Structure 1
Amino acid sequence: MAGNTFGKLFRVTTAGVSHGPGYLCIIDGCPAGLDLSVEDLLPDLARRKPGQSKLTTQRDEADLPEIWSGIFEGKTDGTPIGISFRNGDQRSGDYGDIKDKYRPGHADYTFDAKYGFRDYRGGGRTSARETVCRVAAGAVAKKLLARENIRVLGYVKQVGSVIADIPDPTAVTLEQVEASPTRCPISATAAEMESLIDAVRMDRDSIGGACELVAVGVPPGLGEPVFDKLKADLGKALLSLPAVLGFEYGAGFAVASMRGSENNDLFSPNPIHTDTNRHGGMLGGISSGMPIVCRVAIKPTSSIPRSQKTVTRSGEPTDILVRGRHDPCLLPRFVPMGEAMMALVLIDHLLRSRSSKLK
């Protein structure tokens, strides 16, 4: 199966399925000499793992990584970093009665159309559980970026019709984000979001929303001018995550109603910068030195405990009731996933930029 590796110089490959023995992650291209241990991976993995609160799936996975290679005497040695995760709380029996039915909103039908068969246990390869590998790799990328004073932070901006007013995305802190199980940094709005998610859960339904991601300290000059634009790679990275249906950066779709005089960010000197940031930190697909700000729209969880119409693999009409344990809202656990993919893009382009000109 192609398409399991992401990046050009800093490359991440994942393998595994939701109800198999576990997952494997290989990071290739990490420079030697970085202090790295399991403990460096745990904070973001804890933010991603299931069972954090009543707002998330109650699947009980420790998500404890085992580093098999790439580290010697506490430092990266320049060889591929191998990380494994063991699955411990699979309930494959929850899916036995739907193995020949297509779940609405899932990739069951399209996976069958592509390969002619599928692992029906929790989505198999298409399960969001695969993101445990991405978050681990993202933690390594974040540590490398921190050496260059680059910080990546995400938060929940919207759940359903509840939207957080965040005038300055660069002022949000990790402490503010982690103060609520919703991961919305505005406490009053977070409380509204939590009430909405709980009401939706009690109604045996799910709800979508939006996550905003911010990178500060990114130097100007990252990205390529044509096919590997920084914005294009960020879009691909974030759209590769499960449940993402939309991506925008800077002013995003609001530019559709603007004039050029309204949209242009004017330059000022000493040091060169723009007075506003409607371009979201990227011009011509190359970083401008301003904060990179983007947003992704996350659909409601497709697996809901309600009877729905569907068809069997042979095309016969039927009904389906999806059992198992699922998030009523994907946003709280999505935040570290989005941060990881943004960090992977930035570290890859940072390494690539070092060969773009002579010093």
Structure 2
Amino acid sequence: MNSIGRIFKLTLFGESHGEFIGISIDGVKPGIDLSIEDFTNDLALRRPNNEWTTKRKEEDEVKIISGLFKGKTTGAALTILIKNKDLNSSFYEENQNIPRPSHVDFVSKIKYKGFNDYRGGGIFSGRLTAALVAAGVVAKKIIKSIYPKLTIESKVIEVGGLPYPSDEALNLLNKTYEEGDSLGGIIKTEIKNCPAGLGEPFFDSFESNLSHLLFSIPGLKAISFGMGIESVKLKGSDFNDIYIDKEGNTLTNNCGGINGGLTNGNEIYFTCYFRPASSIKKSQKTINLTNGKKAEISFSGRSDLCYPLRTPVIICACSSIVFLDFIYINSAIYF
């Protein structure tokens, strides 16, 4: 649905071409210093900044309407609004019955019996990830007060099957842009100085909860933790991470910092795989839902050529959100 989390709980709202998008956060620790300026850097990292990203230019103006008083969080639900300003719905109005191949257009129309907001993907749009980034800012501030040495870093390592950054990848991006097509890519994330023991058995493992939130990012098709699928090629004696001290440090880290769904104190690392964007200028065959006849569609709206170029900050935000929720769960159950 629109909410996620057990104690640090998020409720996302708004649509791509609505007046606002926003997020309401329960479980915000009282007394945390927070200002509008705290959101500036991370939201800027998510915004388009080159010719391969969407031409939609949003200022991401943040407004906090509850849970903040005299510059400090109150402990009440923190509700954040982000205004949508740079809107152009003409393409969507003209093509509302001509679904883009591999896009949410068709399935959302079916699910909501034709009452869905089809403009810019509506509630399924990547635009709403700006609100996730805002929630990540709050989570990171709270985490910093508990685990000041913890760091989360994400970076693009591959675009269109080529190492990124590289001259070859940049040339491919330019060529694909000229062709009116799109590319997929891969992002690697590392969480360092993470405590051991976060996660719950079976249904709330660290991997499953993190994956749950990460899969809300449009275009994500797969996640692997540690060696991931490459581990199937090894024997247990080669894969197993050997302990080297009583603190739980290991000689290798093939498990990616997680055993049995619990963090083990070593560096957590995982890889996210993104498909090519479905909205492309290149003409594609589809169906006109009004008359059932074959049609063609060429996207003239504004979209990204390659999702991963703007996504690292979103992955960091999601990681922070899940990490903080597990800190709270661990404290509530065991202390």
TM-score by length of 2: 0.96
C-alpha contact (below 8 Å) 2:248/2:264 kept by paired residues? no
> What's 2:265 paired with?
289
> What's 2:245 paired with?
269
3-state SS of the aligned residue for 2:203? Answer: coil
User: What is the aligned-residue identity percentage?
Assistant: 35
> What's 2:83 paired with?
86
1:30, CA displacement in angstroms? 0.8
- CA distances 1:60-91 after superposition (whole Å, capped 9, x unpaired): 11011111111112111100111111111110
Does 1:248 pair with 2:221? no
C-alpha contact (below 8 Å) 2:200/2:262 kept by paired residues? yes
Does 1:161 pair with 2:182? no
> What's 1:325 paired with?
302
Could you tell me how far apart the structure 2 residues matched to 1:190 and 1:330 are? 17
C-alpha contact (below 8 Å) 1:55/1:194 kept by paired residues? no
Correspondence for 1:342 among 319, 322, 325: 319
Quick one: which amino acid aligns to residue 103 of structure 1? R
Does 1:298 pair with 2:296? no
> What's 2:208 paired with?
232
C-alpha contact (below 8 Å) 2:179/2:282 kept by paired residues? no
Could you tell me how far apart the structure 2 residues matched to 1:33 and 1:216 are? 26
1:316, CA displacement in angstroms? 2.5
Does 1:76 pair with 2:83? no
Cα-Cα RMSD: 1.3
Could you tell me how far apart the structure 2 residues matched to 1:205 and 1:244 are? 18
> What's 1:196 paired with?
172
1:56, CA displacement in angstroms? 1.0
C-alpha contact (below 8 Å) 1:142/1:151 kept by paired residues? no
> What's 2:150 paired with?
150
Does 1:351 pair with 2:328? yes
Could you tell me how far apart the structure 2 residues matched to 1:323 and 1:208 are? 20
Correspondence for 1:67 among 48, 60, 64: 64
Does 1:127 pair with 2:104? no
Could you tell me how far apart the structure 1 residues matched to 2:5 and 2:276 are? 28
1:191, CA displacement in angstroms? 4.0
C-alpha contact (below 8 Å) 1:142/1:152 kept by paired residues? no
TM-score by length of 1: 0.89
1:94, CA displacement in angstroms? 2.2
1:190, CA displacement in angstroms? 4.1
Could you tell me how far apart the structure 1 residues matched to 2:78 and 2:86 are? 26
Q: How many residues are aligned here? A: 331
1:356, CA displacement in angstroms? 3.0
Quick one: which amino acid aligns to residue 277 of structure 1? N
C-alpha contact (below 8 Å) 1:23/1:130 kept by paired residues? yes
1:339, CA displacement in angstroms? 1.0
3-state SS of the aligned residue for 1:112? Answer: helix
1:350, CA displacement in angstroms? 0.8
Could you tell me how far apart the structure 2 residues matched to 1:105 and 1:146 are? 40
Q: Where do 5+ consecutive residues of structure 2 fail to align?
A: none
3-state SS of the aligned residue for 1:211? Answer: strand
1:46, CA displacement in angstroms? 0.4
Quick one: which amino acid aligns to residue 158 of structure 1? E
Could you tell me how far apart the structure 1 residues matched to 2:327 and 2:315 are? 18
Could you tell me how far apart the structure 2 residues matched to 1:287 and 1:270 are? 16
1:41, CA displacement in angstroms? 1.0
